Structure 1
Amino acid sequence: MIEYTLHGPVSQERSRIRVMSALRENRFPQAVLIDGPAGIGKKALAMEIAKALQCTDPNMRPCGHCFGCRMAEDSGSTEKWVVPMESDEAHARSSDDVAPGSKAKTIEDFKKAYIEEIQKNPYRVDIFSAGAFISVDLIRAMTSAFAMKGDRVRTVIVSDADRMNESAANAFLKTLEDVPADTYFILTTSSREKILQTIRSRCLALHLLPLSDNEVRGEVLKFAGEDFDESALTDDIVGLAEGSPGKALYYAENGKGWLDLSVDFLQKSLKGDYTGLFLQLKETTLEDPYMANRFLEVLSFLLADLLREQAGATLRMPETAHKVDMAQFPRIDATALELSLVTVQETMSRIESRRITPMMCLQTLSLKIFEGYK
């Protein structure tokens, strides 16, 4: 019997054991959907599974050195991936249509760049832009590659499968209804509910759990690169990440200022120092809708921690929560904090709708938050 060994964090061992058992017993399905919070290693597991499926070693898989394993790790094998792309990237010409010697970027060039970034750090949460999506053309390009003859196992990783638009989802569903022999699909998503139920029903569901704080630190340092400032990986940043190395890395690089700003936002709103707060907000990058909502995620987490503090529960961001010094504001009780969380979520929805500028939404939030309790 061929033995399979998939590597990864201890916290996710149960999911890997399930996959290894299916591989060992030759009952692995042709479509798998890996879901879980952003940045916890879904793409990393997908790549491990792809190597195991393509490996040809007669005893231990994935071996890491056979032709199948090397092909699974080759970023140039772009037909083995479907990734969200910007509209102009997805509509770039194929390498088959570009004149010899042309320096124009092809769709394969764009895809290869994305794959390289994923392979470099599969935990990253900011590889794809907010406007990137999986179009029907990308699905058709994937299926057209099936016409190529060969007797090897074919794997296709569909990254962020929830970003398929309606046409792409319907086209992919047709593919799942008649999967070619020796072809396996590995889908990853942080929003399982956004994927067609008919697609979900045809996939083996694998749910990945968040990592422990120690595992988060270890995985961040493993993939962050030589220029990463380890001192930025504070206890509060790790707590904010909630078991996601990808989020920890993102917040270590971008979130320190947001933690301080979230404290100032609450304090100045409660004290009525709106002029000072508005001037402070104008000096940030929060005019961008995506960045504004990332800041509001941090603010929501801080409010939730203040709610934990009132309940006597363990804080995830103790240093930042204590900076707010809620003793200054005795009228702010648990009900006020719960209502403030709802107000922040409503603001995020308004920003996402793009009908009102993010800065106006943030200014309005500062006026409305804790309304009736100031």
Structure 2
Amino acid sequence: MIEYILNGPASQERARIRLMSALRENRFPQSILIDGPAGIGKKALAMKLSQALQCSNPDERPCGHCFGCRMAMDSGDTNSWVIPLDTKEAHSKSGADVSAGSTAKTVEDIKKGYIEEIQKNPYRVDLFGPASFISVDLIRSMTGGFAMKGDRVRVVIIAEADRMNEAASNAFLKTLEDVPPDTYFILTTSSRDKMLQTIRSRCLALHLLPLTDAEVRSECARVSAGEVSEEEQDEDSFSEGVEIPDDVVGLAVGSPGKALYYAKRSKTWCKLAAEFVRKSLLQDYTDLFMTLKDAELDEAYEANRFLEVLSFLIADLIRLVAGAPLRLPETTANVGIENFPRVDATALELSLVAVQETMSRIESRRVTASMCLQNLALKLFEGYK
């Protein structure tokens, strides 16, 4: 019997055991949907599975050396990936359509760049823009490549599968109804509820769990060591042996991708979150609005990621009142909530609701992010100031 070995964090071992058993017993489904919080390693597992399915080693798979394993990790094999693109990228010409000698980037060039970034850091949470989507043309391009498959196993990874628009979803559903032989689809998503129920029902569902804090630190160090050269490293970069701040691990909630994202912004955003709470309570709005302007949170995506930090901070203040362990100990201490005795658990809970409502307004894009942040500062802890 061929032995299949899928390595990874211990927190996700049960999911990997389930997959390895299906591979050993030759009952692996032709379509699988891996879901879980953003940045916990869904694409990393998808790539390992792709290698295992394409490997030809007679003893242990994936071996990492055979033709199948090399093809699975070839960023130039863009037909093996379906990834969300923004409107301009999606409308780029195919390599078959450009004129000879053209230096314009083709859709294949764009996809290859994204694939290389995923292979470098499969945990990354900010690779695709908020407006990126999977179009029907990308699905048709994928199915068009099936005719050139030959005799080898074909594995297609559909990253961020919840970003398929309606036409793409319907086109992919037709493909799932009649999957070609020796063809496997591995879908990843952080929002499975946004996908068609008919697609989900045709896939084996696999839920990945977040990592422990220790695993987050280990994976961040491992990935960052490969991403950043010694010359490029600075005080916000991590390498082997460098401790990740406790507050960054707290913000990550088991996601190395979020830890790496917030690591570059934690010093600025954690300080800003503490000032936001403190200056709002002091009604020092002029200074707070100037600080927000300097923070350049005009983009909806960036503004909402900052509000995630603010939400964590307020939730930590609630934990502090309740005597529970803190996720952001340093930032929480910087607020000095003991200087505002009127602010009790009820006030903190209401302020947390206000932050979440503001995030929804920013997400709708009906009001500018900067205006939403200013309005939040005015109403935060309303009645307790």
TM-score normalized by the length of structure 2: 0.95
Q: Determine the C-alpha separation between the residues in 2 that align with 1:149 and 1:58.
A: 22
Provide the secondary structure at the position in 1 that maps to 2:186.
Answer: strand
Q: Is the 8 A contact 1:220 1:249 kept in 2?
A: yes
Instruction: Supply the distance in 2 between the matched residues of 1:281 and 1:20 (Cα, whole angstroms).
Output: 50
Question: Over residues 205-230 of structure 1, what are the superposed CA-to-partner deviations in whole Å (9 max), with x where a residue is unaligned?
Answer: 11111111111111111111233423
Q: In structure 2, what is the Cα distance between the partners aligned to 1:7 and 1:149?
A: 28
Query: CA–CA distance in 1 between the matches of 2:267 and 2:43?
Result: 27
Q: Does 1:309 align with 2:320?
A: yes
- Out of 326, 332, 335, the position equivalent to 1:321 is 332
Using the alignment, how far apart are the partners of 2:272 and 2:284 within structure 1? 14
The residue aligned with 1:128 is 128
Aligned counterpart in structure 2 of residue 350 of structure 1, from 361, 371, 376: 361
Please give the residue correspondences for 1:95-134 in structure 2 after superposition, counting only pairs within 5 Å. 95-134=95-134
Opposite residue 95 of structure 1, the aligned amino acid is: G
Q: State whether residues 159 and 189 of structure 1, in contact with CA within 8 Å, keep that contact through their aligned partners in structure 2.
A: yes
Q: Does 2:148 correspond to 1:148?
A: yes
Question: How many residues are matched?
Answer: 374
**Structure 2 equivalent of residue 18 of structure 1:** 18
Amino acid at match of 1:366: A
How far apart are the structure 2 equivalents of 1:153 and 1:86?
Answer: 30
Counterpart of 1:255?
266
Give the superposed CA RMSD: 1.0
Where does 1:139-178 land on structure 2 (aligned, <5 Å)?
139-178=139-178
Supply the distance in 2 between the matched residues of 1:29 and 1:305 (Cα, whole angstroms).
43
Q: Which amino acid aligns with 1:111?
A: K
**Cα displacement (A) at 1:338:** 1.1
- Contact 1:232/1:253 (CA < 8 Å) preserved in 2? no
**Off by >6 Å, runs of 4+ in structure 1:** none
Q: Deviations over 1:133-180 (max 9, x none)?
A: 101111111111112251111000000011111111111111111111
Match of 1:244 in 2: 255
CA contact (8 A) 1:32 1:203 kept: yes
Amino acid at match of 2:19: V
Q: CA deviation at 1:54?
A: 0.3
Amino acid at match of 2:293: K
2:382 is equivalent to residue 364 of structure 1: no
Amino acid across the alignment from 2:72: A
1:32 lines up with 2:32 in the alignment: yes
Amino acid of the structure 1 residue aligned with 2:190: S
Distance across 2 between alignment mates of 1:232 and 1:130: 31
**Structure 1 residue 255, shift from structure 2 partner:** 2.5
Matched, 1:198 2:209: no
State the Cα deviation string for residues 297-355 of structure 1 (Å, max 9, x = none).
Answer: 10001111111111111111111111111111111111111111111111011111111
Residue 233 of structure 1: CA displacement?
2.5
Task: Give the Cα separation in 1 of the matches to 2:337 and 2:5.
Answer: 50
State which drifts further: 348-357 or 142-151: 142-151
* Alignment correspondent of 1:56: 56
Secondary structure at the aligned position of 2:307 is classed as: helix
Q: Displacement of 1:262 after TM fit? A: 0.2
Structure-2 separation of matches of 1:131 and 1:258: 24
Q: CA deviation at 1:192?
A: 1.1
Give me the identity figure in percent.
69
Task: Please name the residue that 1:186 is paired with.
Answer: 186
Deviation at 1:86, TM superposition (A): 1.0
Q: Which runs of 5+ in 1 are unaligned?
A: none
Which SS does the other structure have where 1:96 is aligned?
coil
One-letter code aligned to 2:153: V
Distance 1:201 1:323 in 2: 48
Give yes or no for contact 1:232–1:252 (8 Å, CA) kept in 2: no
C-alpha deviation, 1:91, in angstroms:
1.1
Amino acid aligned to 2:93: R
Amino acid at match of 1:320: T
Q: Secondary structure at the match of 1:362?
A: helix
CA distance in 1 between partners of 2:243 and 2:162 (Å): 32
1:76 to partner: Cα distance: 0.2
* 2:352 pairs with one of 338, 341, 353: 341
126-135 vs 67-76, which deviates more?
126-135
Which stretch shows the higher mean deviation, 323-332 or 293-302? Answer: 323-332
* C-alpha distance in 2 between matches for 1:32 and 1:13: 17
Q: Is 1:162–1:189's contact at 8 Å kept on the other side of the alignment?
A: yes
What CA distance in whole angstroms lies between the structure 1 residues aligned with 2:244 and 2:89? 34
- The answer (yes or no) to whether the contact 1:31–1:185 under 8 Å persists in 2 is yes
Hey, what's the Cα distance between the residues in 2 that align with 1:194 and 1:6?
A: 29
